Amino acid sequence: MIDFHTHILPNIDDGSRSIDETFNLIKEAKEVGFEGIVLTSHYIENYYETDVPERDVWVKAISENLQAKGIETNLYLANEIYISDNMMNLLEQGKASTINNSCYVLFELPLNSEPLNLYDVIYSLQENKLIPILAHPERYSYVQKEPELVYDLIEKGCLMQSNYGSIIGQYGVKAEFIVRKFLENNMIHFLGSDVHRQNSIYPKIPFALEKISEIVGEHKLEELTTINPKLVLANKKIEIDEPVEFSLSFKEKIMMALKK
């Protein structure tokens, strides 16, 4: 398996706080079956701005240390980029990075307010032959209310990455409910831990895998955890299943409104 979304590089963002914590997180990842880890440190303009060369030095140093210790875990440079009109410039200037220098870009949105420039940014990436991947759509409050947005984005060429923790309630009952609906309707293409701390999500990965497998089956689970991530890392095209459009029923909307 490949962990597609992590915050493991030390002292880069709100993730790992030390090199020791970084190695402990890698150890936890390996223990639950991850053979590769995509290092998607936050890139947020005027806040988290560690550029590609500096992060690349970290990746190489950590990889060399792992090899010296006989630990077989592959690390891949990437970013989780906070949506910005300036995203293409950040990529072209070597500040933010695509996933493993591929044509795939992981980006995130504000949690509670849909950005007005969402479609413009997606079109800008696509015009430059890049494929946008939206991080954890199930966590956004406006998506929880109107999940049709995700269907529309997929139809326009955007892929989706869900967090393992969502299906086990780590982000609340609304995220858990919506991610289940997305999984049932072919609207998730990758899974990631979004890990920030030791002893947090990694020990719960087996439980999350079990729950996701019950929804999508073992073959689809392999696509989400291994096949699709490997295609991205190799910069190859992903053939996705046709998403099934759905909207919340009146009863479901009432239920969601009552959930805290």
The full set of domain ranges for the chain reads 2-258
What are the residues whose beta carbons fall under 8 Å from the beta carbon of 52, sequence distance 6 or more?
77, 94, 95, 96, 97
What pLDDT shows up at residue 246? 79
What pLDDT shows up at residue 247? 79
Q: How many CB atoms lie within 10 A of CB 98?
A: 22
What pLDDT shows up at residue 248? 78
Question: How would DSSP label each residue in 214-242?
Answer: HHH-HHHHHIIIIIHHHHHHTT----PPP
What pLDDT shows up at residue 236? 98
Fold classification of 2-258 is TIM Barrel (3.20.20)
Rounded to the nearest 5 degrees, what angle is found at the Cα of 204, between the Cα atoms of 201 and 205? 90
Residue 76 and residue 36 in contact, taking contact as beta carbons nearer than 8 Å: yes
Instruction: Give rounded-to-5 percent helix, strand, coil for the chain.
Output: 45, 15, 35
Rounded to the nearest 5 degrees, what angle is found at the Cα of 109, between the Cα atoms of 105 and 114? 135
CA dist., res. 122 & res. 190, Å (int)? 18
Residue from 198, 202, 199, 134 nearest 168 by CA: 202
Q: How many CB atoms lie within 10 A of CB 56?
A: 14
What pLDDT shows up at residue 254? 63
What pLDDT shows up at residue 258? 67
Rounded to the nearest 5 degrees, what angle is found at the Cα of 43, between the Cα atoms of 38 and 48? 120
85: left (phi over 0), alpha (psi -120 to 50) or beta: alpha
187-203 as b/e, with b when 16 or more CB fall inside 10 Å?
A: bbbbbbbbbbebeebbe
Residue 81 and residue 107 in contact, taking contact as beta carbons nearer than 8 Å: yes
Burial grade of 228 (CB within 10 A; 0-12, 13-18, 19 or more)? buried
The pTM of the full predicted model, rounded to 2 decimals, is: 0.95
Written as six digits, the tokens of 217 are: 């089956």
Residue from 230, 231, 218, 143 nearest 187 by CA: 143
Residue 188 and residue 151 in contact, taking contact as beta carbons nearer than 8 Å: no
Low-confidence ranges of the chain (pLDDT < 50): none
- Per the listing, tokens 């079109």 go with 123
- Per the listing, tokens 């998730």 go with 188
Helices (H), the chain: 19-31, 52-68, 87-92, 118-127, 141-145, 148-155, 173-184, 205-216, 218-222, 228-233, 250-258
CA dist., res. 139 & res. 247, Å (int)? 17
